[in-house]
Amino acid sequence: MKQILVGFHAVQARLRVDPASLKSVYFDSGRRDRRMGDFLKQAEEVLGERLHAADAERLHKLTGHDRHQGVVALAEKMTVSRTITEVIEDVQGTQEKPLFLVLDGITDPHNFGACLRVADGAGVDAVVIPKDRSASINTTVSKVSSGASEVIPVLTVTNLVRSMREMQEAGIWLIGTDDEATKSIYDIDLTGPIAIVMGAEGEGMRRLTRETCDELVRIPMKGVVESLNVSVASGVCLYEALRQRLHKAAK
């Protein structure tokens, strides 16, 4: 299955992890700045005849818009999505503890892409989303994620609650976020095998998703706003987990 990658981050991420999947890469022949020069130097070595100069009209035709930064690629879709069991087994072969991000009802592609970017930066092993009521990976998600959607496993599951129970059976502690929770994200140990569960803005997690969590926590809010954007909230929780893990490893 073919997909379109848009922008420097998405195309360069694919160049690093799976260059063979890039069938054609088009660049704006009129753009001569340093960023484009550095990109072409990298791409020419790897792609050879698969790299093509194009004008603005051609790039617009490929993407349907002009927010492409002058770089567009046609690629085979990567099969980075696996099963929860496989992800856990892979992590267990290292010194790390599994870290999942579960997204319940995140339908906006910009929010989804931003969550993937944060997840990749924090070292999340996989992101779990439901098949229904969720954004899927498209060109917008790929661009907003700055290439993270090309490398991080995104596990799309038919029944989210059933998959969460599968994680529990494998020893993963499910930590849901809820504004009404008594404990803060800073009050609990995040160094073990865990999954951070985030709900949609406004609605939050669905009832069964919330009830399946092992523990609920809140993010302390000191200002006048009642809640954070879901990608920002994901970043707060995931980077607290990363902070704790780095601190523990340094001891």
Rounded to whole angstroms, the Cα distance separating 155 from 80 reads 9
- What does the domain layout of the chain look like in residue ranges? 2-76, 84-250
Partner residues linked to 74 by β-bridges? 4, 24
Average pLDDT over every residue of 156-167? 94
Nearest to 164 by CA among 198, 124, 115, 117: 198
Say which residues have a Cβ less than 8 Å from residue 220's Cβ, sequence separation at least 6.
Answer: 184, 186
Q: What is the pLDDT of residue 36?
A: 92
Amino acid type, 103 = L
Amino acid type, 179 = D
Nearest to 103 by CA among 186, 29, 201: 201
More confident residue, 64 or 198: 198
What CATH superfamily is the domain 84-250?
SPOUT methyltransferase, trefoil knot domain (3.40.1280.10)
Rounded to whole angstroms, the Cα distance separating 142 from 177 reads 26
Pairing of strands 194-199, 173-177: parallel
**84-250 has the same fold as 2-76:** no
In the numeric block, which tokens belong to residue 207?
């009832």
The model's pLDDT over 104-128, given as tens digits with 9 standing for 90+, comes to 999 999 999 999 999 999 999 999 9
Say which residues have a Cβ less than 8 Å from residue 71's Cβ, sequence separation at least 6.
Answer: 6, 7, 8, 11, 25, 26, 27, 28, 36, 39
What CATH superfamily is the domain 2-76?
Ribosomal protein L30/S12 (3.30.1330.30)
Nearest to 95 by CA among 197, 238, 193: 193
The model's pLDDT over 33-90, given as tens digits with 9 standing for 90+, comes to 999 999 999 899 889 899 999 998 999 888 888 878 899 999 887 655 478 888 888 8
Say which residues have a Cβ less than 8 Å from residue 78's Cβ, sequence separation at least 6.
Answer: 14, 17, 18, 21, 150
More confident residue, 88 or 186: 186
Q: What is the pLDDT of residue 81?
A: 47
φ/ψ of residue 164, rounded to 5 = -65, -40
- This prediction has a pTM of 0.74
pLDDT for 1 beyond 70: no
Q: How far is CA 213 from CA 71, 199, 233, in A?
A: 42, 12, 17
Range ranked top by mean pLDDT from 44-48, 216-220, 222-226: 216-220
